[in-house]
Structures are given as C-alpha cells and as structure tokens.
Amino acid sequence: MESVILKFEKLLNENVHYFPIIDQKILEERKPKKWSKKEIIGHLVDSAVHNLVRFTEINYVDKPYQRRTYDPDALVDINKYQTMDIEELTQLWFVINKQLVRLMKTVDPKALEYEIDFGDGSLADLRFIMTDYVEHLEHHINQIKS
C-alpha cells in the first residue's frame, strides 16, 4: 500500500495548485454528453465522498461489505460543480482526499483483506478498492490535463 499512498499524495500535491490556474474557459468548456474539466473535478469530489464512506464503513459492518453505488451524472448535475468557484472546488477535493490518505495510512492490515460485494457476483478486497480509487483519480486528472 505504501507505493499507492505515495502516488496518491503526489497526485494531490501536484494538482491542488494546478486546478485553480487553468483558464476558466477551458475549465468550463463542455462537449456533447461529456463533463467539463470543472465537472470532472466535481465528480472526483463525489467519488472521494463515497469512498470515504466505503473505506470507513467496511471496518464495522457485516462482511462481505455491500458496495454502495451512486449515479455520477446525477450528482454532478445536482451539486452544480459547473457554477462553483474553482478555488473552493479544488479545496473541497483536496481536503476530502487528504482524509482518504489518512485512512489509507492507518488502515488495519487485516482490514485490507475485508471483502466487498459488488452486487453482480464479484468480490474484491479493500486493498483492491483503495488501489483502484487512486487509479481512477489518476485517470480523471489525466483527462483534466489533456
């Protein structure tokens, strides 16, 4: 997990100062059926919120943990990220993710083996979910930077 955490911290530290300096036109430009870069950051906030719940609940609920799902498009729309101040949006994204880093650094090694039920017959462990979260974050950051 150490390499995953280091990568996570690097992504946060590199981009907390980068997002706010992106030109507003570029941040808010939308293509048909695609999120703007600003909305992608908002999606990353929603993802962080849901994973914060997942990473904590798995420690005290019945196993296997039943993965909570959410509707990314609906949340981006409801939360109106497109109209949010980029400094505020970036800080929201950063602070929630800093808490996820704290959780990952202090997770009980036994908990990394707790199973998550995806609801489609497939199972994964917490280690996989945490690693996948960082990969998901990196994927979307690359979209923002392109």
Percentage above 70 pLDDT, the chain: 100
Instruction: Output the pTM of the full model.
Output: 0.96
| Confidence tier at 97 by pLDDT (50, 70, 90) | very high
What pLDDT score does 90 carry?
98
Exposure of 98 in the CB half-sphere (CA atoms within 13 A) = 9
What pLDDT score does 68 carry?
86
Structural domains for the chain: 2-145 (1.20.120.450)
pLDDT one-digit tens code per residue, 1-15 = 999 999 999 999 999
The yes-or-no verdict on residue 132 having pLDDT over 90 is yes
The yes-or-no verdict on residue 118 having pLDDT over 90 is yes
What pLDDT score does 54 carry?
96
Q: Within the chain, where are the H helices?
A: 2-15, 24-28, 37-57, 72-79, 86-106, 126-145
- Give the chain's length: 146
pLDDT one-digit tens code per residue, 38-47 = 999 999 999 9
What pLDDT score does 48 carry?
98
pLDDT one-digit tens code per residue, 54-69 = 999 999 999 999 998 8
